[in-house]
């Protein structure tokens, strides 16, 4: 009887399981198919099988390795910046003071605001001719001798997208860390205070160990998301060749869809290696 009920249960969930499997695995398999073909743009012409040629061309392409290097700089800087900023603000907002609820809500504004609107605001602020950032740094504070072309200079544009991403996404780290902070037992801090521990010692020996799992999870998730970042980088400036932008240009500027598929497959392998290593070393799974 139990075996019949188990078989019936498997039969009932089989359609859903097959549908979910198709949604997940079909795009991956189709991408692998494209990566080993010279993809024809003519629907009436067949794709030509070329084996691993796209991968060979990719691994010997200096532009690809440059995009990897730029992406690593962008990812490490934004992940570290957003995590540290989120931790600092969460520690501050965990204290009781008048208007704390309103302050917490205001901190979430960069995260919930429409992306396209804040991109336009940043483009206006960092405009090299009439932007308030250059005006403040050059005319008001005298920190710079001349204006910086934040939008069209590759080096300055990289700093611009790093600043934007940290500001835009640190509230996510703030929310996750603050939620964990509020679950820490106050008796731990009271016992430490009775033993003579100052604020720094309490943060170092109680707060940080309690936050290790949350911060580790945030870093891994944020690394995955930012390594594939495309939307805000491409909207802000076209001068930062992160791998998301590089893949898009390969697919829709040069129309080399086979090479673009090879890029995404290669990145999938690289990111999965990072995730497997990080999960075992950081999260101890």
213-248 tens-digit pLDDT: 889 889 888 998 899 899 889 999 888 999 999 999
Average pLDDT over residues 61-83: 93
The gap between the terminal CA atoms of the chain, to the nearest Å, is 38
What is the DSSP secondary-structure string of 184-248?
S-HHHHHHHHHTT--HHHHIIIIIHHHHHHHHHHHHHHHHHHHHT--HHHHHH-S----HHHHHH
Nearest one of 212, 244, 187, 239 to 71, comparing CA atoms: 244
pTM: predicted TM-score of the whole model, two decimal places: 0.86
Distance of CA 210 to the CA centre of its chain: 24
Question: Secondary structure of 39-80 in the HEC alphabet?
Answer: CCCCCCCCCEECCCHHHHHHHCCHHHHHHHHHHHHHHHHHHH
How crowded is the C-beta side of 192, counted as CA atoms within 13 Å? 16
Beta bridge partners of 37: 49
Q: How confident is the model at residue 76 (pLDDT cuts 50, 70, 90)?
A: very high
**Which tens digits make up the pLDDT trace of 101-125?**
898 889 999 998 899 899 999 999 9
CA 198 – CA 200 distance, rounded (Å): 6
| Best CATH choice for the domain 53-281 from the list 1.20.1250.30, 1.20.1440.230, 1.10.3720.10, 2.40.50.1070 | 1.10.3720.10
In sequence order, which residues have a C-beta less than 8 Å from that of residue 184 and are 6 or more positions away?
206, 207, 210
In sequence order, which residues have a C-beta less than 8 Å from that of residue 268 and are 6 or more positions away?
28
Q: Within the chain, what is the greatest distance between any pair of CA atoms?
A: 84
Nearest one of 240, 285, 238, 245 to 267, comparing CA atoms: 245
In sequence order, which residues have a C-beta less than 8 Å from that of residue 140 and are 6 or more positions away?
none
**Which tens digits make up the pLDDT trace of 140-183?**
888 878 888 888 888 899 999 999 999 999 999 999 999 888 88
- Sequence ranges of the domains in the chain: 53-281
């Amino acid at each position: 009887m139990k075996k019949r009920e188990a078989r019936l249960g498997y039969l009932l969930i089989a359609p859903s399981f097959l549908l979910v499997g198709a949604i997940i695995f079909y795009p991956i398999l189709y991408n692998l198919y494209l990566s080993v073909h010279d993809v024809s743009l003519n629907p009436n012409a067949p794709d030509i099988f070329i084996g691993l040629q796209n991968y060979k061309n990719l691994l010997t392409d200096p532009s690809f390795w440059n995009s990897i290097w730029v992406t690593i700089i962008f990812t490490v800087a934004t992940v570290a910046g957003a995590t540290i900023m989120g931790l600092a603000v969460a520690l501050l907002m965990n204290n009781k003071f008048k208007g704390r609820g309103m302050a917490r809500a205001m901190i979430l504004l960069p995260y919930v605001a429409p992306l396209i609107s804040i991109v336009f605001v940043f483009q206006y602020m960092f405009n090299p001719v009439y932007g308030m950032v250059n005006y403040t740094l050059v005319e008001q504070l005298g920190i710079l001798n001349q204006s910086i072309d934040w939008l069209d200079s590759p080096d300055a544009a990289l700093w611009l997208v790093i600043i934007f991403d940290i500001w835009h996404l640190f509230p996510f780290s703030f929310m996750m860390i603050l939620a964990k902070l509020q679950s820490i037992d106050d008796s731990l801090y009271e016992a430490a205070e009775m033993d003579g521990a100052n604020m720094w010692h309490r943060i170092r020996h109680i707060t940080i160990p309690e936050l290790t799992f949350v911060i580790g999870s945030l870093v891994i998730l944020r690394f995955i998301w930012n390594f594939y970042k495309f939307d805000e980088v491409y909207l802000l400036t076209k001068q930062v060749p992160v791998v998301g932008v590089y893949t898009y240009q390969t697919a829709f500027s040069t129309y080399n869809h086979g090479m673009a598929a090879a890029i995404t497959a290669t990145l999938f392998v690289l990111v999965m290696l990072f995730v497997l290593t990080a999960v075992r070393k950081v999260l101890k799974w």
